[in-house]
Structure 1
Amino acid sequence: MSVWWEHVRSLLSLRAHEHAALPDLRGLESRRARVERTHFLADDHERSHNGDRMYVLRREPRNSRDASSIAVHARGRVVGYVSDSHAAGIAPLLDDLGGAALVNGLGSTAGSSRLWVELPAEDALREFVGSYEAA
């Protein structure tokens, strides 16, 4: 359902981004990070879902709060943002990939509403960007 919803959102917003067209960073070395500035609260049904989730990182260069802002999308909606300290390092590399990419997320853990995302390590992402541009 999440892929379907992202496709509908893309059509409605007149964006060309579809999951198949986005660079897939899920296989890169990564580190777990909290999703910041979220107003999204995971309900019991979502907390009961175990395993990885697919998230989309999308750059928001016109964000008035921070020019290196990266939004975390799940099921076609923004669920929060990458922390400013992490975003500063990976934002330029994400720009080189077109401004959006697929990553894994962990949703929340039992008894918590905190969301987590797997952010690619800067060195691994830099290497990926180099090979992506060459392809």
Structure 2
Amino acid sequence: MPTWLEHLCHSLIGRTRSHDDLPDLRVLSTSREDVARTYYVVDDPERRSRDDRLYVLRVGRGHGSRAHDVAVHSHGRVIGFLSKGSAAMLAEPLARLGGAAIVNGAGPRPGTTRLRVDLPTAEAMRSFASRSGRSAR
């Protein structure tokens, strides 16, 4: 799909849902990690900017080995996934928070095209869940 058509599609249908009802994890202590499996879904203009950006993490609805995938969304579309280790740590707490949450992210480091996402630490997730009245291990 040409880049101009992709931008048109995202401007028309990409922002279909408000983030107001999602838990906001941007205030938690985090560590920055590369987003995996972005090869064919992120266009060059999105990779050129190294600016901070808003992402939404969503627990996967797959089966088998993909059941615990955590997808990283930007502007209403999947741009990649968390690594297996990070997804295993965050899938259950995210599911208990409703299956999705807002996080920060950033463009690629110099010399690479991998986008990055700020992931809350396990302790920060437990603390957040207890403050919000929801249980997380």
Count matched residues: 124
Alpha-carbon deviations, 1:69-120, whole Å to 9, x = none? 1000011111110001111111110011100000000122344211110000
Contact 2:59 2:95 in 1 (8 A): yes
Give 2:81's aligned amino acid.
Answer: Y
Partner of 2:101: 101
| Distance in 2, Cα, partners of 1:64 & 1:8 | 30
Partner of 2:62: 62
Alpha-carbon deviations, 1:13-47, whole Å to 9, x = none? xxxx521111000110000111112223452x434
Gaps of 5+ in 2: 1-9
Give 1:101's aligned amino acid.
Answer: A
| Distance in 2, Cα, partners of 1:6 & 1:91 | 29
After superposition, residues 117-128 of structure 1 pair within 5 angstroms as: 117-128=117-128
Partner of 1:14: none
Contact 2:48 2:107 in 1 (8 A): no
Aligned to 2:23, the other structure's residue is in SS state coil
Aligned to 1:27, the other structure's residue is in SS state coil
Contact 1:63 1:69 in 2 (8 A): no
Gaps of 5+ in 1: 12-16
TM-score, normalised by the number of residues in structure 2:
0.78
| Distance in 1, Cα, partners of 2:25 & 2:105 | 12
After superposition, residues 19-98 of structure 1 pair within 5 angstroms as: 19-39=19-39, 40-43=41-44, 45-98=45-98
TM-score, normalised by the number of residues in structure 1:
0.79
Superposed CA RMSD in Å reads 2.3
Give 2:66's aligned amino acid.
Answer: D
